[in-house]
Structure 1
Amino acid sequence: MSDQSNLNEFLSELKTYSEGGQPGSGDDDTPVQLDPIGNVMEIAGSSSAVVLEASRLLELGEDPDPAIRLSGQVGSQVKMAVGKNWLIANVRTMRAGEGGTVIANVDFLGEGNREADGRLSGFKRGVTRFPIPGAQVFPVTTRDLRSVFAADSRPHIEIGTVYPTDDIRGALYIDPMLGKHFAVLGSTGTGKSTSVALILHRISQASPEGHIVMIDPHGEYSAAFKNHGEIFNVDNLQLPYWLMNFEEHCEVLLTSEDSERQRDEDILAKCLLEARSRNKMAEEFGKVTVDSPIPYLLTDLNQIIVNEMGKLDRAGDATPYKRIKNKLDELRADPRFTFMFSGMMVSDTMNKFIAKMFRLPANGRPISIVDVSGVPSEVTSTVVSVLARMVFDYALWSRTETLRPLLLVCEEAHRYVPKEDGSQRGQAVRRILERIAKEGRKYGVSLGLITQRPSDLAEGVLSQCGTILSMRLNNERDQDMVRAAMPEGARGFLDAIPALRNREVIVCGEGVNIPIRVTFDTLEAEKRPASSDPSFAEMWRDVGDEDGIITRVVRRWRGHGK
């Protein structure tokens, strides 16, 4: 059959369809005629150009259906008839054409069945047959979008309302989102923390026996989960120092740089191995390495260092030993490090620590909030490294057991997996989070990264996140980073990122059927994090009890200050 015959057949189908009518804005079964708003101008794979009539777009602006009212605008959807299917496309850009027309670039989202009465049903992502130039373009209705965005039977959580509708719920599919990691991005003040709390609350409600560990660097989330999870901070964390591997020991105990550091590492490795080997547990497991989580006494490590110094022929050779010993003495004497370096006696608390930290069992409180805001800055990255590595190693060594998938959520992720800068600090946490991003899903470990500066993240980490939730980003470098990480079909949505309102998000990737723009639900006050900005005008009117406030603050400052 010739191209002309195909075109004639296609135009005939459109004529028949137009005469039969098309459903309008309501949810009733009465077909309502909706005239086309333009025609396809150019087809180029997933992206195409259409010519829209400006007068028709103005007419649509008066329709009571919000989907029809915004159809044809940037970030909204239009549809085209192709055979027995409807093709849904997202409008990415618009520019003025000739003779009262508007030329729009659109990205195809997917297709569904075109029922006899014009309804859209059975929507699926992807396109099997493209329209031809000249095909008519129609506005979408709320009923169309309900078919497009309706959640299927897979386990999912609802997080808000899909733009531009008033009642269609935005859903995230739990298994695809967690199975291939996710990232929540957004500038300060966009409602990012509250939105993250909402997502974690909904996941916890869907899976009350789940296992979630969240690293909270600012102490924001304790308020949000005090009744729904376990809160850990420097007062009750009780993180045993001997759980650190050799790399983490080096970050805490070594102060030297460059050529001196290698010698210090060799000395520490020898002394640490001997200290671990003194535990009777070492005999049970045979081969013990400097990385083995075998308890050892700090007094033993200190004595071994002193003994090694005594074997030296020249006093000058003792300098690296003294450096390590002085740092060890400093940590043991500093009350800020009591949560990690405390007690003369050491017991094997590894089982207990894993059980409480990973919520095994959860008992209806599936999330651990680890507030590291009170952790001394010198060891914050090391503490996060130990926790992240414990998550990964537990999953790695439990492969022969009944699988207990773990979700690790890392707030302010750019702190821990920053771009390479040549610094020795924080390399352990960077390496383990990069490893979880690349390999975690093999072992049932999911990673959730939350950041306001995606451009400062290490190369490739964001691209490992299968689902990206982007709120408003004001920095152009951050916007470019997100564009590079998101799939091509989401470009029309990405252009809206700088213009998003607070609590609005663009979601694309594995966790959704197609890219969506969602307004987050309002979270109950008792479930919100303590992250709201203070009102200077209001707070500065509040006076009284200044002396008492200062006294209490200074007492806490002196007792727990960094």
Structure 2
Amino acid sequence: MSDMPGPGAFLRAAPLTGGFASASTAAAPVGVVFAIAGSSSRILLDRAAIAVLHDDSDPVVAAAGQVGSQIKMRVGATWLVANIRSLKLEDAAGTCVAAEIDYLGEGDEDKLTGKLYRFRRGVTRYPMPGCEVFPITTADLQQVYAADDRANITIGTVYPTADIPAALYVDAMLGKHFALVGSTGTGKSTSAALILHRICELAPQGHIVMIDPHGEYAAAFKSNGAIYDVSNLQMPYWLMNFEEHCEVFLTSSGSARQFDADILAKCLLAAKAKSRLGQEIAKLTVDAPIPYMLSDLTTIISAEMGKMDRAGDTAPYLRLKSKIDEIKADPRYGFMFSGMLVADTMASFLSRIFRLPGDGKPISIIDVSGVPSDITSVVVAVLARMTFDFAIWSRNEPQRPILLVCEEAHRYIPAGQEANSSVGRILGRIAKEGRKYGVSLGLITQRPSDLAEGVLSQCGTIIAMRLNNDRDQAFVRAAMPEGARGFLDSIPALRNRECIICGEGVTIPIRVSFDGLEEEKRPASGDPLFSELWRDVGGEDQIIGRTIQRWRAQGK
């Protein structure tokens, strides 16, 4: 025999004391608390009482009893708010439904009206079994999700309402990193653009660097951002540290790679020491961002090669020299390895990229879609490391926090391989230590399960859109706090432009419908309309001709 109470439990429940005035049917209880635990509990809902609410004019009340909806319980002079995580039919007659709930927080009760106000996270007093359960109302949610005096941005509305604004606390979100995850086609890029536009509006003198691997975001920020690609990035090669030099210049593997690296370190240090800036530094290191000429480096390599007694010993020097000469001669690498970039332009480069000053354009879009694929990760590594190193070496200066946003983050911090590349190591380090130095990391990915283990858990705020893959869902679920479990179960059922937000950037876990974004502020990531575009005919010869011309010129 089950010891669960039947439908009669609702009749035997303790009477409501100090009732409150309400025109809505939400004034009537819909269930009772059955079992209590620390972070979650079990309640019993009366199906008949829930059915009465379905036609309520308040959409929040009408959604009462559904998975992901909220309920409230009176405990003394406070209202305890909880989220429904799961439902199960409890009795054979079908009149009683058992629900697992997660506590969200509590708010004070107005003695005259019974309304909830001054909501805060956490629970100080738990209800006793038998305590009555009430549906939550729109007025309650307005109090629950009301933004406090902290700096915040509005990005949409709280589901299922159309008028309760959903706010993100910017300092809390950026101070402890954030991640935006969602399957392709869910509106992830547009939502990322919306959040960044709202941040730019709040802080028009901010400092945001976005790595854009597909060239999507230039269209979204052409009015309030600085757009850089291979045609105008002009990133000097000598900004690379030794590790990044090795990734570009070394072609060998195994024990030969270490031998080549030793030669490169010696010759690179000598080339940097030849420059005027290098001569002014007493203890010059191979990692110091000192301008040097590639021709000096190859000359020093040739000189060292000439000291070898046997012809067989010259192979490492020849490998290095030929690779450097190959990169110098290849126009695809001109944005970084041009001879024009030998001057000391570090100050102007940092000023441009970090928006110091921003001149009303607080975001830099770094379009790396035109960068040769074999050095894309090195370019991203240099940009990320420059951000981190600038924050470290400017600690004694007036602080200028920087937000680094990395689209398609799983490409740069892949699971199990984060220690094998410079970009994986530096982004992992920013995730772990960046907060101390004023560097915030924003990760955007469609495959969170492919991210390096631990990186997602370093993100204090997680914005989860629909995820279709079970592994991705499990990965996000593991990174989210326990109190958000009820919301997480609805991730596969989210509509486009909807998300679950939990963590530091919100008071409690929240389901949000994103605001619409003006056409001119959207990224160029829309899906093609095959049924319409395939009706267009004519001009194919010209299309092919122009395409081939750009193809052969590599976009120049």
TM-score of the superposed pair, with normalisation by structure 2: 0.96
Conserved 8 A contact 2:110-2:117: yes
Supply the distance in 2 between the matched residues of 1:261 and 1:340 (Cα, whole angstroms).
Answer: 24
Residues 250 and 195 (structure 1 numbering): CA distance in 2 closer, same or farther, change over 3 Å?
A: same
- The 3 A distance-change label for structure 1 pair 33 and 246 is closer
Residue type of the alignment partner of 2:192:
V
Helix, strand or coil: the match of 1:90?
A: strand
| 1:132-281 mapped onto 2 (5 Å cutoff) | 132-281=128-277
SS of 2:183's equivalent? Answer: coil
Return the letter of the residue paired with 2:422.
Answer: A
Output the CA distance in 1 between the equivalents of 2:386 and 2:142.
43
How far 1:72 moved relative to its partner? Answer: 1.4
Question: Does the C-alpha gap of structure 1 residues 84 and 418 become closer, same or farther in structure 2, counting only changes over 3 Å?
Answer: same
The question of whether the paired residues in 1 share the 8 Å contact of 2:26 and 2:135 is answered with: no
Letter of the aligned partner of 1:15 in structure 2?
L
| Whole-Å separation in 2 of the counterparts to 1:101 and 1:561 | 66
> Hey, what does 1:6 align to over in structure 2?
none
Q: Is the Cα–Cα contact under 8 Å of residues 218 and 227 in structure 2 kept in the other structure? A: yes
User: CA distance change for structure 1 residues 67 and 101 in 2, over 3 Å: closer, same or farther?
Assistant: same
Task: For residue 344 of structure 1, report the CA deviation from its aligned partner.
Answer: 6.0
Can you give the 5+ residue segments of structure 2 that lack an aligned partner in the other structure? 1-11
CA shift in 2, pair 1:345/1:82, >3 Å: closer
Give the match for residue 302 of structure 1.
Answer: 298
Matches within 5 A, 1:278-289: 278-289=274-285
2:381 aligns with one of 385, 395, 407 = 385
Distance in 2 between residues matched to 1:512 and 1:499, nearest whole Å? 22
- Kept in 2: contact 1:212–1:408 (CA 8 A): yes
Letter in 2 for 1:89: A
Q: Which of residues 503, 508, 523 is equivalent to 1:509?
A: 503
Match of 1:497 in 2: 491
What code does the residue aligned with 1:474 have? N
SS at match of 1:91: strand
Q: Distance in 2 between matches of 1:533 and 1:366?
A: 28
Inter-partner Cα distance in structure 2 for 1:514 and 1:110: 8
Question: Match for 1:122 among 118, 121, 136?
Answer: 118
Instruction: Name the counterpart of 1:15.
Output: 16
Asked if 1 retains the 8 angstrom alpha-carbon contact of 2:16 and 2:132, the reply is no
Judge conservation of contact 2:26–2:61 (CA < 8 Å) in 1: no
Report the AA paired with residue 456 of structure 1: D
Secondary structure of 2:553's aligned partner = helix
The residue number in structure 2 matching 1:78 is 71
Task: Work out the CA distance in 1 between the residues paired with 2:328 and 2:366.
Answer: 23
Distance in 1 separating the partners of 2:23 and 2:434: 47
CA contact (8 A) 1:66 1:166 kept: no
Q: Match for 1:49 among 34, 42, 47? A: 42
* AA of the residue aligned to 1:23: S
TM-score w.r.t. length of structure 1: 0.95
2:535 is aligned to: 541
Deviations 1:189-208 (A, max 9, x none): 00000000000000000000
Of the three residues 103, 110, 114, the one matched with 1:108 is 103
| Cα separation, 2, equivalents of 1:358 and 1:233 | 15
Identity %: 65
Seen in structure 2, the aligned counterparts of structure 1 residues 240 and 344 have a Cα distance that, compared at 3 Å, is: closer
Match of 2:348 in 1: 352
1:466 aligned onto 2:460: yes
The whole-number CA distance in structure 2 between the counterparts of 1:230 and 1:546 is 34
Question: Deviation at 1:23?
Answer: 2.8
Q: How far apart in 2 are the matches of 1:475 and 1:448?
A: 22
Which one of 435, 444, 457 corresponds to residue 441 of structure 1? 435
Q: 2:48 & 2:89 partners in 1: Cα distance? A: 12
- Which residue of 1 is the match for residue 61 of structure 2? 68
Q: Distance in 1 between matches of 2:239 and 2:174?
A: 27
For 1:312, the equivalent position in structure 2 comes to 308
Structure 2 counterpart of 1:5: none
Q: CA deviation at 1:345?
A: 6.9
How far did 1:312 drift?
0.2
- CA change 1:344–1:167 in 2 (3 A) is closer
SS in 2 for 1:365: coil
Cα distance in 1, alignment partners of residues 467 and 132 from structure 2:
36
Residue 432 in 1 paired to residue 426 in 2? yes
Could you say what secondary structure the match of 1:383 adopts?
Answer: helix
Deviation at 1:257, TM superposition (A): 0.9
Q: Report how far residue 543 of structure 1 moved.
A: 1.3
C-alpha separation in 1, matches of 2:141 and 2:189: 29
Separation (CA, whole Å) in 2 of partners of 1:306 and 1:56: 87
Following TM superposition, the consecutive aligned residue runs of length 4 or more in structure 1 with deviations greater than 6 angstroms are none
What is the identity, as a one-letter code, of the residue corresponding to 2:293?
L
Q: What count of residue pairs does the alignment treat as equivalent?
A: 542
Q: SS in structure 2 opposite 1:15?
A: coil
Which SS does the other structure have where 1:560 is aligned?
coil
**1:285 Cα deviation from its structure 2 partner:** 2.0
Deviations 1:369-392 (A, max 9, x none): 000000000000000000000000
Report if the CA contact (8 A) 1:382-1:429 is conserved.
Answer: yes
Contact residue 155 and residue 174 of structure 1 kept, 8 A? yes
Query: Against the structure 1 CA distance between its residues 443 and 166, is the aligned structure 2 distance closer, same or farther, given a 3 Å change threshold?
Result: same
| Preserved CA contact (<8 Å) 2:14 2:132 | no
Q: 1:39 aligns with which of 14, 32, 47?
A: 32
Choose which of 383, 391, 396 in structure 1 pairs with 2:392: 396
SS in 2 for 1:375: coil
Contact 2:418 2:452 in 1 (8 A): no
CA contact (8 A) 2:13 2:32 kept: no
Q: Is 2:51 the counterpart of 1:58?
A: yes
Shift of residue 55, structure 1, vs aligned partner: 1.2
Residue of structure 2 in register with 1:327 after alignment = 323
> Secondary structure of 2:27's match?
coil
Partner amino acid for 1:500?
Answer: L
Deviation at 1:21, TM superposition (A): 3.3
Using the TM superposition, give the Cα deviation of residue 89 of structure 1 relative to its aligned residue in structure 2, in angstroms.
0.3
Q: Structure 1 residue 457 and structure 2 residue 457: aligned?
A: no
Say yes or no: does 1:94 pair with 2:90: no
Measured at CA, do residues 40 and 292 of structure 1 come closer, stay the same or move farther in structure 2, by a change above 3 Å?
same
Give the RMSD, CA atoms, in angstroms: 1.4
* Distance in 2 between residues matched to 1:193 and 1:422, nearest whole Å: 24
Long gaps (5+) in structure 1: 1-10, 26-31
Structure-1 residue corresponding to 2:4:
none
The Cα of 1:283 is off from its aligned counterpart by: 2.2
Contact 2:13-2:131 at 8 Å conserved across structures: no
SS of residue paired to 1:420: coil
2:26 and 2:53 in contact (8 A); partners too: no
Matched residue of 2:41: which SS? strand
| Contact 2:236-2:341 at 8 Å conserved across structures | no
Closer, same or farther in 2 for the Cα pair 1:313/1:142, shift >3 Å? same
- Is contact 2:419–2:425 with CA below 8 Å preserved after alignment? no
Q: Is the contact made by 1:97 and 1:103 (CA closer than 8 Å) also made in structure 2?
A: yes
C-alpha contact (below 8 Å) 2:418/2:424 kept by paired residues: no
